[in-house]
Structure 1
Amino acid sequence: MVWTAALLVIVISYVNSEDYCYGEPHCDPYAWGDMFPSCHPLLEEHHSPINLDHQMTRNESLRSLHLEGFDVIQPGHWALKNDGHSVVLQVGGGMSVSGGGLPDVYHTIQLHFHWGGPATNGSEHTVDRRRYPMEMHIVNMKSIHPNLTEALGDPTGLAVLGFFIDVVYADHVHFGLVSQKLSSVAYKGQTTKIEPFPLMNLLPKHNMSQYYRYYGSLTTPPCSQAVVWTLYEVPIYISWSQLAQFTSQIFSTEEDAEQVTPLQNNFRHIHPTFSRIVSVSKDAKLLTGTASWPLRSAVSLHLLQIILLGSFLSGL
């Protein structure tokens, strides 16, 4: 559909990407409020991301969401793009999200990632103040809105499904369909095609009834307070080498590539919940699991350095 294609472009370019960054003091997340008033933490109270802790409320009515079209192969092609701030997978039409306490049906638009560096974790939300290595966001827009501008003016205009990503030693086969394409989108503006696959193959399909819910904002400018957040309790597990592909192969500019300065730590800082209620789904375990400690041990760092060196040598 034409409106879907147009929306895909708008979703990843609704602000001038030159206006914000993650690593420079004049344009990093703490300075966003100077350029985008709605990002100012003292003027707005419902910011994201937040820390998840034991101060939450069980809601027995929160059951599994209905993920329409997530278990089939969609027609056409998907596009993977480096937008200078993340890697975005534009998934076209055919998928939607509803139920699970959401106020409407939401059309799935895209998914993107946030990550840390070789020795730091990079999820946006934290669990008991600890970060996971990565976080994936599936962005969905309320079906009643014809465009993103209207959706961002609605406190529940977007529904974002957030998935923590943790690290093990074995590759995630389906995740590899994305990570193996990263070298083709090394620089900002580069795009490559990906053959569609059942999106459910990326997700912790046996634990989809375990999640946390709160109302917040976009985690990038303009930081609109228009998001119903669903954060899943059980992470996606990828390998060390797949994590290394994100922390070493993506660059914001060609100049960064020449200086071997990859895009890293592309996450926004944590914000207070204030008076917001953070709800726990019927089946969630109330944080009985724990997030990984930051990857700081000598063994972990040495292993990742070996992987990065191997990746570098293989490209010579």
Structure 2
Amino acid sequence: MIWAAALLLIFVSYGDSEDYCYDEPHCDPYAWGDMFPSCHPLLEEHHSPINLDHHMTRNESLGSLHLEGFDVIQTGHWTIKNDGHTVVLQVGSGMSVSGGGLPDVYHTIQLHFHWGGPATNGSEHTVDSRRYPMEMHVVNMKSIHPNVTAALHDPTGLAVLGFFIDVVYADNVHFGLISQKLSSVAYKGQTTKIKPFPLMHLLPKHNMSQYYRYYGSLTTPPCSQAVVWTLYEVPIYISWSQLAQFSSQIFSTEEDAEQVTPLQNNFRHIHPTFSRIVSASKDGRLLAGTSSRPLGSDVSLRLLPIILLGSFVSGL
């Protein structure tokens, strides 16, 4: 469909840009405003990501979102791509998001990931100023727009569902459908096909009524303030080895691979909420009792170097 192709083209063009990065002072997130004026936080007040804390209000009208098509196997094939900044799963048409206080129906386009490194967590949003190991974003475009150019000029043009990812000992079988494909997209521009599966299998399906809502921006250039954010309270759980696959097997260039410099810490820094209202859904816990570290984070940071070393030795 035209809207899907247009949005996909724009997201690919962002990924193909050489103008921003995460690890060099001249092009890292603090320098994005020099190249993309709308990324400058001093000029705008609705940037993402933000920190989630107890300074929020409960909104009794925020019930569960309706995720159309998330529980069935879509036709055709999906594509996984390394765009130089993240790993993108392009899901095509057939799924949509509505309800839960969203102003319209939004078509699901893609999902992608943000992660840290062997000694750092890498979620974009934080909870009580603490990061989770990873974060997954499911990107959806408002159905009334013909293309993403129009959507990016609408303060609610995109709806992004954010899921924290934490670590446990056992592999996540469904997540493995993605992580096992990473070696096929090691370098920027590489793509591989993947057989569709019910996307709901990735999500914390028994806790989908617990989330937080605020209005913000894209977390990558051009940082357009066009996103309705829905951040789910209960994380997705994967294994330490699955986490390590992201932080050790994805490279921006072949030169990075030759120098064993994988893509890591691909997250934007936290921005103030200013006067924005951050709401908890009617079943959200308002972060009560969540001041402790996210489950497994400290342990994962201690064990990741051991896991990475083991993977290296096994490959010798």
Give the shorter-chain TM-score range.
over 0.9
Describe the superposition over 1:208-248 as per-residue Cα deviations: whole angstroms up to 9, x where unpaired: 00000000000000000000000000000000000000010
Residue number in structure 1 paired with 2:153: 153
SS in 1 for 2:309: helix
Which structure 2 segments of 5+ residues have no match? Answer: none
CA distance in 2, matches of 1:305, 1:60: 44
CA distance in 2, matches of 1:189, 1:268: 22
CA distance in 2, matches of 1:2, 1:137: 23
Shift of 1:291: 4.2
Contact 2:163–2:232 (CA under 8 A) maintained in structure 1: yes
SS in 2 for 1:238: strand
Contact 1:119–1:294 (CA under 8 A) maintained in structure 2: no
Describe the superposition over 1:242-267 as per-residue Cα deviations: whole angstroms up to 9, x where unpaired: 00000100001111100000000000
Contact 1:79–1:193 (CA under 8 A) maintained in structure 2: yes
The letter of the residue matching 1:238 is I
Describe the superposition over 1:61-108 as per-residue Cα deviations: whole angstroms up to 9, x where unpaired: 000000000000000000000000000000000000000000000000
Describe the superposition over 1:142-180 as per-residue Cα deviations: whole angstroms up to 9, x where unpaired: 000010000000000000000000001011110000001
Matches within 5 A, 1:127-166: 127-166=127-166
Matches within 5 A, 1:24-63: 24-63=24-63
Q: Is 1:277 equivalent to 2:269 in the alignment?
A: no
Shift of 1:271: 0.3
CA distance in 1, matches of 2:286, 2:2: 42
Residue number in structure 2 paired with 1:82: 82
Residue number in structure 1 paired with 2:246: 246
Instruction: Provide the TM-score with structure 2 as the length reference.
Output: 0.96
CA distance in 2, matches of 1:166, 1:295: 7
Describe the superposition over 1:41-78 as per-residue Cα deviations: whole angstroms up to 9, x where unpaired: 10010000000000001000000000000000000000
The letter of the residue matching 1:36 is F
The letter of the residue matching 2:257 is A
SS in 2 for 1:175: helix
Matches within 5 A, 1:1-316: 1-14=1-14, 17-288=17-288, 289=290, 290-292=292-294, 295=297, 300-301=300-301, 303-316=303-316
SS in 2 for 1:139: strand
CA distance in 2, matches of 1:128, 1:267: 17
Report the RMSD for the aligned CA atoms in angstroms: 1.5
CA distance in 2, matches of 1:262, 1:150: 35
SS in 2 for 1:246: helix
Contact 1:113–1:136 (CA under 8 A) maintained in structure 2: yes
Number of equivalences = 314
Describe the superposition over 1:109-128 as per-residue Cα deviations: whole angstroms up to 9, x where unpaired: 00000000011100000000
Contact 1:15–1:222 (CA under 8 A) maintained in structure 2: no
CA distance in 1, matches of 2:102, 2:271: 23
Contact 1:47–1:216 (CA under 8 A) maintained in structure 2: yes
SS in 1 for 2:113: strand
Contact 2:119–2:302 (CA under 8 A) maintained in structure 1: no
Q: CA, structure 1 residues 174+268, in 2 after alignment: closer, same or farther (shift >3 Å)? A: same
Instruction: Provide the TM-score with structure 1 as the length reference.
Output: 0.96
Contact 2:220–2:268 (CA under 8 A) maintained in structure 1: yes
Which structure 1 segments of 5+ residues have no match? Answer: none
The letter of the residue matching 1:292 is P
Percent of aligned positions that are identical = 87
The letter of the residue matching 2:181 is K
